[in-house]
Structure 1
Amino acid sequence: MSSVAGKTVIITGSSRGVGADTAKILAGEGANVVINFRQKAPRANKVVKEITEAGGRAVAVQADITDPESRANLFQAATDEFGGLDVLVLNASGGMETDLGEDYALKLNRDAQNDALTDALELLPRGGRVVFVTSHQAHFINQVETMPEYDAVARSKRAGEDTLTARVPELAEKGVDLVVVSADMIEGTVTATLLNRARPGALDERREAAGKLYTVNEFAQEIAKMVTEDVENGHVELVGGAEDFLAKAGK
């Protein structure tokens, strides 16, 4: 895909943070963007308003991607509003919540990602792309330890990545590409804030080890870039602080 102009993109978890900035960037490049939110409609509507006022096209859709019926409504909205789907950005993640059950991290970060891919394949044309957003803490979890407070989430996200990449041969038959985009802790995100609260100084430690942590917008720029970048199916794009993890992993 050489350009997103006129293409339709669903971005899960895009009412704030990295997902919202990715949506604004892609809409600015001419994409039709489906903003997905789980609970906070006003926040999602604000993102849509910013996009449309700038001349872009976007719609906000409430959907919990762990729920099959809700997730189906998300994909139906792309068809109803824009006529189909060309790109799925799997940005929604979590698992540090304390009130959603001890298996919620796996349910969201592995099972829901895989189910969303299955649903998307019903709509994605040849030349379509799926972008899975993750972190170095998750991508390298089998080689590099992370903070105990994040270990379960990191392992669930790695499980999600492994589940998706195992489907690359299936995707290739359908002419659909998968790209994984991984970054270090991101300044200003909910996850970084929660981790720093649980382990004071965690952000400072990562800044020192990485040299620099990406901002929300800087990571969003990298994700948006990988929507159209000419890379191999299953490519993993490591951005921001990867050298530290690669060294620890012995790569």
Structure 2
Amino acid sequence: MPLSLPAPLLAHIGVVAATFAVAGFVKGVTGMGLPTVAMAVLGTLMLPAQAAALLLLPSFVTNVWQLFAGSGVRALVVRLWPMLAGIVGGTLVAAPFIAGGGVWAVAGLGAALTLYAAAGLRAWRLPVPVRHERWLSPAIGTVTGLVTGVTGVFVVPAVPYLQGLELTKEDLVQALGLSFTVSTIALAIGLAGAHAFALDGLRESFAAVLPALAGMWLGQRVRGRISAASFRRWFFICLLGLGLELMARAFV
């Protein structure tokens, strides 16, 4: 007799798979966005700490893929290590906040998504003179780590900062992959240290890897066939709506 799963469980599996397929597609097209999309959607369905634990493996695998898709990784590590160290330190300090859950974790996630979406829609750029990298890089990394530990979102303010470094397109994609990979590892350690993530939780996270990879592959295939500017605009509009909804729900 075939094994049947309860309808709520099937619905949960379907929503998670679809979420990571869409998140992977966004990452394939834009080079970023998988953790952001996953946290934005799953954050409306579960606690931020649960969503963050679920995205760990898909985020790690897709970011490593992105990181090693080209050359120059070593030079980027040498240049960006102060920012990466700040990300690790900030994330480990703040991770107990998201692990605690509650209304403020949801509100923080909504605020981070709203800020990132607004910055994307306004095309904000942070020009970074080389002479300021020595002190700005660790500061940006620390703030990014704190935001990651509080919300599970890796992008603020690391993405605008990296975009302001005037890297080549290929180096920027790899730098984003490097930053997100380090953020993912730091978040996993922080959640585990706060007892919000255990090895048993890897099973569900592992199941989300395949749809994420499939979506990323498809996004990379269609990247040259769609308007990147239009895609990004609608991506940020959707994030803005989800961020505002999370903040509103946190206080209702």
Same fold? TM cut 0.5: no
Structure richer in strand, relative to its length? 1
Structure richer in helix, relative to its length? 2
Larger RCO (CA within 8 A; separation ≥ 6): 2
Q: Normalized against structure 2, the TM-score is what?
A: 0.30
